[in-house]
Amino acid sequence: MDASMAGTILAAIFTLAIFSLLYRDNPFYRFAEHLLVGVSAGYYVVHYFSSAVLRKFAYPVFVSQDWWLLPGGLLGLLMLFRLSRHTQWVSRYAIAFYVAAWSGYLIPSVIQERVLVQIQGTIPQLIGATPGAVIGALILLVGVTTILVYFYFSAEHRGALNSLSRIGITFLMIGFGASFGYTVMGRVSLLIGRFQFLFQEVPEVLGL
Amino acid sequence: MKKTGPVILGFLVGILMLVQYFTPNAWIEARYNNVLDWKQVVFGMTLILGVVSLFLYHWRKISRRQSGWGYSVVTIGGLLFMIFAALIWSPEAGPYRWMFDYVQAPMQATMFALLAFYVASASYRAFRARGFHAALLLTAGVIVMLGRVPLGELIGVRIGETHISLATISSWILDYPNLAAKRGVMIGVGLGMTATAIKIIVGIERTYLGRGA
Amino acid sequence: MADEGHSHRRSGRLIELLTNVDRRIIFLVIALAVALPLLFPLNLPVRPSREATAYFEALEALDPGDVIIFSFDYEPDTMAELDPMSLATLRHAFRKDLRVIALTNYPGGPGIALRNLEQAATEYGKQPGTDYVFLGYNPDYSATMLRMGESIQATFPTDHSQTPTAEIPLLQEANSYADIPLLVTVTASALAEYWIIWAGGKYGQKIITGNTAIQAVLIYPYYQTGQLAGFLGGLKGAAEYEKLLELPGTGILGMDAQSMAHLLIVLFILLGNVGFFLQRRAARNGGAN
């Protein structure tokens, strides 16, 4: 028996151990669950270390002698102060640096790509469009506008504002319905993957 | 030092990263690149810290012989085995990769595959058309569910030369009302993200720094 | 009176039957609905959608020797949906003699990336370093995406196996988005949106994405505006792409099971609602009596 065959048998056993939860909670499931947490954490931490510490800090600083990377390592080390309640405040410098940097480059990009370009895409281009396209474009315009009215909380939703926001809710419900349909699709696909493994891959590897 | 210092640092870094979007200045661009590099190291260290916390949690459970401590031994055993396997062999081959291929990957995949059963159960027991909007949600869901699989192509009616199938209706739902819904939410969330980001840079929003900041 | 009582009892039993089904029976039925079509295929026809065709054509339009970026932005939890897309895309790329710079923004991604890359490269006789390179995992996706617009070598000073990227021939030719005509991300999260915002928005990078079904529904607005050149949605998207490539894989093989499971879930919703309405009517009648 080679390593791949042994691995496939083990993978099938663990797959069944996880599926056993469907009957009820049991020690096989709990063993598999805890092993998964441990192995995953071990797998991740190796990649965290080799990418963040070796690749992005040690290699550029000590091999390429790019000293501009040194502050990154120091900021990273500040995170370790979180391990003690008394020194936790030191890590705030690293957190503030990280979150503020993200905020800084997020603002222009989000405004441009998630707001302005989307508004541009909602304005109907009616010249030369087919009747179907015109209807579609108008539905899009009404939908986006009424949903934004629904999210407008600076005034009480009464009268026209209430009617418009109710149209917005209708669009949102259709959107949630589509999400629900796709969610079912995604979950079923994951099950198909495991059954393909159990019913097709395992017998193939075992020569059944 | 404990409260204002981090906010001042955040303000300076935030402004630098904001300004770089609008200027081709070489010095600013070089510092922008530095900040991006440093950010990756900080993020990586944060993740390592998360694994250290997981280790300490299970270690405490074992040392205090708390209920289920035996399972914590399994977790710590798995964690340490992977670290030593990567150190002794390599992260690209040997037991480290074997454990990923035959232990972690199949179990993680199965864990999420369980959700198919729960979604089926919830469909039977929870999804009720209690009112107009709920009925609309369910109808759209059912059309998309059937319309987005090969079976949906086969269910439909022929009007003249045109075959209108569930797949056609499903595509229309996705292209128009669904798109409007997703875009409306996207614009709203985009504006919300921007407002929060501005509040973070100017120091109004500090909750992310933890208690007492 | 006796007839009415009998009818009430019968309707009560029906309500009981419809509303109190053991969840394990539902689990068993759904398992059969997925397993049986895998063992006894129906071969339902798969018709490519407009979005999948656009995804295919974006790759098809490239010339031999062009370099693409391929980002494996997922972990084993969604590999059933996304691995067929990754493998099909890599086969398409290598079949066209495109060169691939691969990376992942997920710590659980390297194992998946290596497996797919090695399989496709072996099938088409491609060599690491010249035909493809795997850069590995980098923490902080947004900084990675932005930094790659300036320099891939600086973003990844070494590749996955710790080889300095400055020494890799492929990266000497292609070192930023400016040198790369197409970026592909196969993702289980909002990372497709972030590639669009940062690589697409800031650097004008052309992008196509493979998405889980859950994520695909959120991506339509970007496709309509042209920020996204094409996309695949869920296992069905993978099947459509396999059909276009004429390389059947696990996507197409899974479509019968997918259809049957969806049909069954629709039936569950209908039966559940019939039970609900009967129960509501019985409660109203009981109240009236």
Report if residue A155 sits inside a domain. Answer: yes
Structure confidence at residue B12 (pLDDT): 96
Query: For B45-65, how does the pLDDT look when each residue is reduced to its tens digit (9 = 90+)?
Result: 999 999 999 999 999 999 999
What residues of chain C, 187 to 226, have a C-beta less than 8 Å from chain A? 193, 196-198, 200-202, 212-214, 216-218, 221, 224-225
Measure C121 CA to nearest chain A CA, in Å: 20
Secondary element (H or E) of residue C67: strand C67-73
> Helices (H) and strands (E) in chain C — how many of each?
14, 6
Provide the shortest C-alpha distance from residue C254 to chain A (in Å): 6
CA atoms of C254 and A185, how far apart (whole Å):
12
Residue C59 pLDDT: 97
Is C128 a residue whose pLDDT tops 60? yes
Distance of CA B112 to the CA centre of its chain: 14
Max alpha carbon distance in chain A (Å)?
75
CA distance C83 to C104: 14
Q: Give the pLDDT band of residue A74 (cuts 50, 70, 90).
A: very high
- C-alpha C11: how far from chain center: 45
Nearest residue to A7 via CA among B107, B78, C123: B107
Q: Which residues of A touch B37 (CB under 8 A)?
A: 56, 60, 68-69, 72
For C66, phi then psi, to 5°, come to -60, 150
pLDDT band at C3 (very low <50, low <70, confident <90, very high): low
Contact with chain B for residue C32, Cβ under 8 A: no
Whole-angstrom distance, CA of residue A16 vs CA of residue B175 = 40
Tell which residue, C234, A143, C229, A183, has the closest CA to residue B182.
A143
| Residue owning tokens 């990754």 | C86
The average confidence (pLDDT) of chain A is 92
ipTM above 0.85, yes or no: yes
End-to-end CA distance of chain A: 15
State yes or no: pLDDT of C288 exceeds 70.
no
Could you read off the pLDDT of C215-242 as tens digits, one per residue?
999 999 999 999 999 999 999 999 999 9
Phi-psi map region of A65: left, alpha, beta (phi>0 left; psi -120 to 50 alpha): left
**C174 pLDDT exceeds 80?**
yes
- What whole-number distance in Å separates Cα of residue C233 and Cα of residue A93? 41
pLDDT of residue A83: 86
Checking if the pLDDT of B157 tops 90, the result is no
A-B C-beta contacts closer than 8 Å: 407
Checking if the pLDDT of B10 tops 70, the result is: yes
pLDDT of residue C186: 97
Residue C115 in contact with residue C79, Cβ under 8 Å?
no
Beta pairing class for B162-165 and B156-159: antiparallel
Contact A184, B119 (CB under 8 A): yes
- Which tokens is B183 given? 């875009």
Structural domain boundaries, residue A198: 123-208
Distance CA A191, CA B112 (A): 8
Q: Which of C80, C200, C213 sits opposite A182 (nearest CB)?
A: C213
Helix extents (H) in A65-90: 70-78
Question: How confident is the model at residue C5, as a pLDDT?
Answer: 67
Give the residue on C whose Cα is nearest the Cα of B146. C262
DSSP conformation class of B155: S
Task: Give CA–CA dist C12/C15, Å, rounded.
Answer: 5
C-alpha distances (whole Å) from C8 to each of B136, B143, C271, C274 are 32, 35, 19, 16
By DSSP bridging, strand B162-165 and strand C99-104 are: unpaired
The distance between the two most distant Cα atoms of chain B, rounded to a whole number of Å, is 77
**Inter-chain touch A52–B40, beta carbons under 8 Å:** yes
Cα separation, C248 vs A21, in Å, equals: 33
CB contact under 8 A, A113 and C201: yes
How does DSSP classify residue C158?
Answer: B
User: From the candidates B13, B28, B29, B36, which should be mutated to test the interface with C, based on the most C CB atoms within 10 A?
Assistant: B36
What is the number of residues in chain A?
208
- Distance, CA of C286 to CA of C279 (rounded, Å): 10
Q: Which two tokens stand for residue C275?
A: 């039970």
Coil, strand or helix at A87: coil
In a domain, residue A132? The reply is: yes
pLDDT at B154: 87
Per-residue pLDDT band at C1 (split at 50, 70, 90): low
> How distant is the Cα of B172 from the closest Cα of chain C, in angstroms?
12
Work out the average pLDDT over A31-36.
Answer: 96
Q: Tell me how long chain C is.
A: 289
pLDDT at C233: 94
Task: Report the distance separating Cα A117 and Cα B187, nearest Å.
Answer: 10
Please check whether residue A176 touches B, CB under 8 A.
yes
Q: Give the whole-angstrom CA distance, residue C135 versus residue C158.
A: 7
Answer yes or no: is pLDDT of C177 > 60: yes
Interchain proximity A45–B175, CB inside 8 Å: no
Element (H, E) at C210: strand C207-211
Distance between CA atoms of residues A207 and A201, nearest Å: 10
Q: At what angle do helices B105-125 and C23-39 cross, to 10 degrees?
A: 120
CB atoms inside a 10 Å sphere around CB C54: 17
User: In the structure encoding, which two tokens stand for residue C26, read together?
Assistant: 């539902």
What is the pLDDT, as a whole number, of residue C2? 58
Residues C251, C235: contact at Cβ < 8 Å?
yes
CA distance A81 to C155: 27
Output the average pLDDT for chain B.
Answer: 92
Identify whether A145 is part of a domain: yes
CA of A166 vs chain B CAs: smallest distance (Å):
10
Q: What distance in Å separates the CA atoms of residue A17 and residue A21, rounded to the nearest whole number?
A: 8
Q: What is the CA angle C28-C33-C37, rounded to 5? A: 140
Q: What angle do CA C95, C98, C103 make, to 5 degrees?
A: 110
Q: Quote the minimal CA–CA distance from B17 to chain A in Å.
A: 5
| CA-closest candidate to residue B118, choices A7, C31, C199 | C31
Q: Which residues of A touch B182 (CB under 8 A)?
A: 175
C262:A188 CB<8 A: yes
Residue-wise pLDDT tens digits, B92-126: 888 999 999 999 999 999 999 999 999 999 998 88
Considering Cα of A42, then A44, then A47, then A50, what sign does the dihedral take? negative
Cβ-based contacts under 8 A for chains A and C: 143
Nearest alpha carbon to residue C250 among A12, A189, B103: A189
One-letter amino acid identity for B116?
A
As a whole number, mean pLDDT of residues C61-70 equals 96
| Within a domain: A19 | no
d(CA B48, CA A73): 13
In a domain, A65, yes or no: no
**Residue C76 in contact with residue C95, Cβ under 8 Å?**
no
Distance CA B23, CA B61 (A): 54
| For chain A, percent of residues with pLDDT exceeding 90 | 73
Please write the tens of the pLDDT for every residue from C247-260. Answer: 999 999 999 999 99
Find the helix or strand (DSSP H, E) in which C23 lies. Answer: helix C23-39
Give me the mean pLDDT over the A113-131 stretch: 89
Residue B2 pLDDT: 80
How many independent structural domains does chain A possess?
A: 1
Q: What is the mean pLDDT of residues C163-189?
A: 94
Give the three-state DSSP class for B203.
coil
Give CA–CA dist B19/C112, Å, rounded: 38
Please say if the pLDDT value at position A178 is more than 80: yes
Residue A96 lies in a domain: no
C111 touches chain A (CB under 8 A): yes
- Chain C residue closest to A61 (CA)? C157
**Residue B162: beta bridge partners?**
B159
Which of the other chains make 3 or more beta carbon contacts under 8 angstroms with chain C? A, B
